[in-house]
Amino acid sequence: MVSREMRREDDDKVSDHDVEGGEEDLDCSEPGSLRRCSWITKNSDEAYVQFHDECWGVPVYSDNRLFELLSLSGMLIDHNWTEILKRRDMYREAFADFDPSAVARMEEEDVAEISGDRELRIAECRVRCIVENARCIQRVAREFGSFSGYMWGHVNHRPVVGKYRHHKYIPFRTPKSEAVSKDLVRRGFRLVGPVIVYSFMQAAGMAIDHLVDCFRFHDCVRLAERSWGITNVAA
């Protein structure tokens, strides 16, 4: 979500569109306003700000919502977060509210209908990736009890808290996202390179990367503590 140029990776070619603003826009909070992460600027779209304030970094445990965030993170190859979030309701309608069981049953005519919808702006190959990932999620859920249990198991059911003071220190990928990506690929998932996986981990609260002076940092940490009984993660 960080508003800066994404590093290019051969297996994770995130679009230039992921850039939401430049250095000149950073740290433009007005006196008396909530202090947000520095990539949220006076020019940020309302949908982007709302996602930052209400969703990004909040631990997510629902299989449907995790599937949604994994799918949206994969779309960063072609679009930026603002473009994706503005069409979020349309994506939910197209993909049955990201119910893995329903998406896994989609057939060729469904793929053609979704990819042919100009409002959605999803290429056929991307739609196929989402459908295939739904089928992979079903297999994972049978093995681990849930997709959530599988994903959170990679971080020992505790979010990784960044405690960053400046956006330039927030990584685009980590050894953990590389390990998760490798295992997802082994299980047949697509659009899950380590940069995309880390964007997903941030969005799903598996990695809490709000800057420490952002008003959402302690909120997200407290939510994680409440859900899993974590202690001292924000010390």
What are the binding residues for Zn(2+)?
37, 52, 210, 214
* Burial group, residue 33, by CB count within 10 angstroms (0-12, 13-18, 19+): exposed
Question: Which region, left, alpha or beta, applies to residue 27 given φ > 0 means left and ψ of -120 to 50 means alpha?
Answer: left
**Helix, strand, coil content of the chain in percent (nearest 5):** 55, 5, 45
How far is CA 195 from its chain centroid?
Answer: 10
Give the HSE-up count for residue 107: Cα atoms under 13 Å, Cβ half-sphere: 1
Q: Which residues are annotated as a binding site?
A: 37, 52, 210, 214
**Contact assessment for residue 45 and residue 86, using Cβ atoms and an 8 Å cutoff:** yes
